[in-house]
Amino acid sequence: MLGSDAFVYADQSVDLRNLTETRRLYDWAFSQYSWHTILSSSDLVGRAPVTNGAGADFVNLRPESSITVLLDNDIPYEDFTRTVTIYPVQNGETLYAPVSSGDVLGEVTLSRDGIVYGTAHLVANTSIELNRMQFMRMQIRDLLATRVARFSIWCLAMLLIGYVALIVRYNLLRRKRMREIAEARKRFYEEQQNNRRNR
């Protein structure tokens, strides 16, 4: 059974062929199959768009862990299909800065001929800081897009226009009054001079 019997040669020497067939089977298996890393944790497999990032509009994604599988040595790596899912993009959401290195942002699945060989989380390869000025502009833009803010701005504009109109009217009336006072003084001095001459 599996070559485990002893073989006696014509010269009476004995060859103990213990499990020779099993050994040949193992040799064949190890020559045909081996462990292959089909995805390394250092591979960059995608990028996620980042809003309000300081100096960057995207962050590169890498697998959180490697995927290692036992494969036939004749299978080329190019035959594997990578399916990359970026959670914010898939959910129709916006990824806002700050983003920290190691944040889980998606997943990658490796498959071949309909067989899934492994899935790994995708994490941010680097950190992206928040661009505070861009963030403030966005907050103001979003605030101004609301009805309450537009109504408030309209009211403030009307009050400002009314205030400016009152200031202009006041200045016009004041100038008119100053002219009247100046003319009255002028008439008064002229009358005084005429009265002195008539004496």
CA distance 190 to 199: 15
Cα–Cα distance for residue pair 132/100, rounded to 1 Å: 16
List pLDDT tens digits, range 143-175.
888 898 889 889 999 999 999 999 999 999 999
- Mean pLDDT value across residues 185-193: 87
Instruction: Give the pLDDT band of residue 135 (cuts 50, 70, 90).
Output: confident
The pTM of the full predicted model, rounded to 2 decimals, is 0.62
Per-residue pLDDT at 2 exceeds 60 = no
The C-alpha R_g of the chain, in whole angstroms, comes to 44
The pLDDT of residue 25 is: 82
Tell me the two tokens of residue 85.
């899912």
pLDDT score, position 141: 84
- Which residues have a Cβ under 8 Å from the Cβ of 138 and sit 6 or more positions away? 51, 52
Q: Which residue has the higher pLDDT, 10 or 114?
A: 114
Element (H, E) at 45: none
Sequence-ordered list of residues with C-beta below 8 angstroms from that of 126, at least 6 positions apart, any chain: 59, 60, 101
Give the pLDDT confidence score for residue 5 in this predicted structure. 67
Residue range 9-52, pLDDT digits in tens: 788 887 666 667 777 888 888 889 989 899 999 999 999 999 98
pLDDT of 3 higher than 70 = no
Helical H runs in the chain?
Answer: 20-32, 87-90, 132-144, 147-198
Structure confidence at residue 132 (pLDDT)? 86
Mean pLDDT of the chain: 88
The 10s digit of each residue's pLDDT in 56-99 is: 999 999 999 999 998 888 888 778 999 999 999 999 999 999 99
